[in-house]
Amino acid sequence: MQRLIIEGEKRLSGEIKVQGAKNSALPLLSAALLVQGETVLHNCPRLSDVFAACRILGHLGCECRVSGNTVTVRADAPCGCCVPDELMREMRSSIAFLGAILGRTGECCLSFPGGCALGARPIDLHLEALRKMGVTVTEKHGMLRCVCPGGLKGAQIHLSFPSVGATENIILAAVLAKGTTVIGNAAKEPEIKDLARFLNLCGARIQGAGTDTVVIEGVDKLSPVEYTVMPDRVCVCTLMSAAAITGGEITVRGAAAEDIEAVIPVYEQMGCSVYTYSDRLFISRTRPLRAVDRVVTLPYPGFPTDAQAMTMAALSLAKGTSIMVETIFENRYRHVSELVRMGADIRVEGRTAVIKGVDRLYGARVEATDLRGGAALAVAALAAEGVTEIRGLRYIDRGYEKIEDQLSSLGASVRRVSE
Ligand code: UD1
């Protein structure tokens, strides 16, 4: 088992290039299944979830090669439509393959991605939409079998909640379907725009991605392209929280500041200066950290749920009391008890967290139980007095490419040790 050992109280400074977005790379890898020929994806982060997606593609009969940050997928003639249980369990977001497998082969069989640390994470919206597109879904023994005897057909779909995964799955199922699909109340996240941009370059006809109405006109075939995955906006937020908590000064290269417009004002209220120029985001804090009134997580363009945990870590050292409200996932405060071990004063009531700023955090043995919660522990450790030992690195490795190297390059004292 690996652990991160972080010696705190080091001010972070310097410049760093942000990694490619995990939440974009995964649907893009799934989309490659729809393309006849060789898709080349640049700027793919080297993460356990990306490697798991490659294994799923390999299992489905695609040739998948990883070289540095470039992944090449050749999907000339996929020979499978089933994702075995062990691969589904390796990566919870493997449900992203459902729409693409159906689009390419007309049938799909996979096990349920399962409950997640963040809450129940149902897939009812995905299935309801696919049924409207002509898919018959049967659920038995924890397996989901989807077939579309008459082929996928375009449909009018209104999502009761703008689910990111459901919007992506519908787009993936609709690009090669017969007729036009309209998604109402679609998710507007930048990763949806990235997926549509890629598919349109391949010959798809998708309009309105990034707005709440996405229209997809089915086409017969997609042709391969080379594409560069967008920057990871959650990693930018993580670096911002690291600068904020250590009183540091970080320039993030390759950051798309327009994708985190709801986050920047929160960090400014906390006492940080944030400037953006071209693809660079500069953040520094020279004043004391201040509490913020209320941060509410919302679907894009609201404050992202994925940035909640690390922002909370920074707020735990702010002067005053901050309120955070998590509206997206019902169980996304599992990092709180670990932050409290480090000396934070945080109380959770339902979906609300009350964070009373303390003067100091202390190094402790803590455990990551989900990806962003794990990142929050690393952020807290950067400012804590003494040494913090973080277990549960498999969660952090799902979203951060060598987090110890990223933070060390900015002056932190972080090492990974194996038992
Ligand atoms: C994606 C992101 C995740 C991010 C989340 C919200 C990926 C791989 N993951 O997850 O990092 O935190 O968006 O921005 O891109 N829901 C249902 N039924 C459904 C689908 C969703 O009730 O069929 C609920 C979920 O339980 C959750 C909410 O809708 O409470 C948001 O989920 P969704 O937007 O689908 O998130 P994911 O796509 O799973």
Q: What is the pLDDT of residues 221-231, one digit of tens each?
A: 999 999 999 99
Whether residues 201 and 250 fall in one domain = no
Residue 121 pLDDT > 90:
no
Lowest mean pLDDT among 35-39, 115-119, 235-239: 115-119
The number of the ligand 1 atom at minimal distance from the alpha carbon of 165 is: 38
What counts of helices (H) and strands (E) characterise the chain? Answer: 14, 24
Q: Which of 81, 82, 108, 116 is catalytic?
A: 116
Give the model confidence (pLDDT) of 291-334 as tens digits: 999 999 999 999 999 999 999 999 999 999 999 999 999 889 99
Residue 52 pLDDT > 80:
yes
Which CATH number characterizes residue 184's domain? 3.65.10.10
Quote the DSSP letter at residue 301: T
**Average pLDDT along the chain:** 94
Q: How far is the CA of 153 from the centre of ligand 1 (A)?
A: 25
Whether residues 12 and 144 fall in one domain = no
- Do residues 264 and 274 make contact, with C-beta atoms less than 8 angstroms apart? yes
**Of 184, 199, 228, which residue is a domain's last?**
228
| pLDDT reported for residue 115 | 43
Protein residue whose Cα sits closest to atom 9 of ligand 1: 23
- In this prediction, residue 280 has a pLDDT band, given cuts at 50, 70 and 90, of very high
- Length of the chain, in residues: 419
- Do residues 86 and 111 make contact, with C-beta atoms less than 8 angstroms apart? no
Residue 79 pLDDT > 90:
no
Q: Alpha carbon of 353 to those of 89, 264, 327: distances in Å?
A: 30, 21, 12
Whether residues 147 and 259 fall in one domain = no
Whether residues 8 and 116 fall in one domain = no
Mean pLDDT of 138-155: 89
Give this prediction's pTM: 0.96
Q: How far is the CA of 334 from the centre of ligand 1 (A)?
A: 17
Protein residue whose Cα sits closest to atom 25 of ligand 1: 121
Percent share of the chain, pLDDT over 70: 98
The number of the ligand 1 atom at minimal distance from the alpha carbon of 125 is: 23
Whether residues 41 and 170 fall in one domain = yes
Mean pLDDT of 111-126: 69
Ligand 1 surroundings by CB, under 6 angstroms: 23, 26, 93, 119, 121-126, 161, 163-166, 187, 305-306, 328-329
Whether residues 258 and 340 fall in one domain = yes
d(CA 259, CA 146): 35
Whether residues 220 and 273 fall in one domain = no
Mean pLDDT of 219-242: 98
Give the model confidence (pLDDT) of 360-382 as tens digits: 999 999 999 999 999 999 999 99
| pLDDT reported for residue 114 | 52
**Of 170, 193, 228, which residue is a domain's last?**
228
Q: Alpha carbon of 227 to those of 70, 77, 379: distances in Å?
A: 10, 21, 32
d(CA 419, CA 417): 7
The number of the ligand 1 atom at minimal distance from the alpha carbon of 234 is: 11
* Three-state DSSP class for residue 300: coil
Residue 91 pLDDT > 60:
yes
Whether residues 11 and 142 fall in one domain = no
Total domains present in the chain: 2
d(CA 410, CA 239): 10
| pLDDT reported for residue 350 | 94
**What is the extent of the structural domain holding 269?**
2-18+231-418
Whether residues 327 and 256 fall in one domain = yes
Whether residues 379 and 244 fall in one domain = yes
Helix or strand holding residue 389 (H, E): strand 387-391
DSSP character string of 203-258: T-EEE-BTBSEEEEE--S-----EEEPPB-HHHHHHHHHHHHHHT-EEEEET--GG
| 148: annotated active-site residue | no
How many Cβ atoms from other residues are within 10 Å of residue 326's Cβ?
23
Whether residues 185 and 288 fall in one domain = no
Whether residues 166 and 241 fall in one domain = no
Among 44, 47, 130, 164, the mutation site with the greatest number of ligand 1 atoms within 8 A of its Cβ is 164
Protein residue whose Cα sits closest to atom 32 of ligand 1: 163
- 168-178 burial, b at 16+ Cβ within 10 Å, e below that, comes to bbbbbbbbbbe
Mean pLDDT of 172-190: 98
Residue 7 pLDDT > 80:
yes
Give the model confidence (pLDDT) of 395-417 as tens digits: 999 999 999 999 999 999 999 99
- In 3D space, the residue among 84, 4, 79, 75 whose CA is nearest the CA of residue 33 turns out to be 75
Q: How far is the CA of 6 from the centre of ligand 1 (A)?
A: 31
Residue 113 pLDDT > 70:
no
For residue 390, what are the β-bridge partners?
A: 4, 366
**Of 182, 200, 228, which residue is a domain's last?**
228
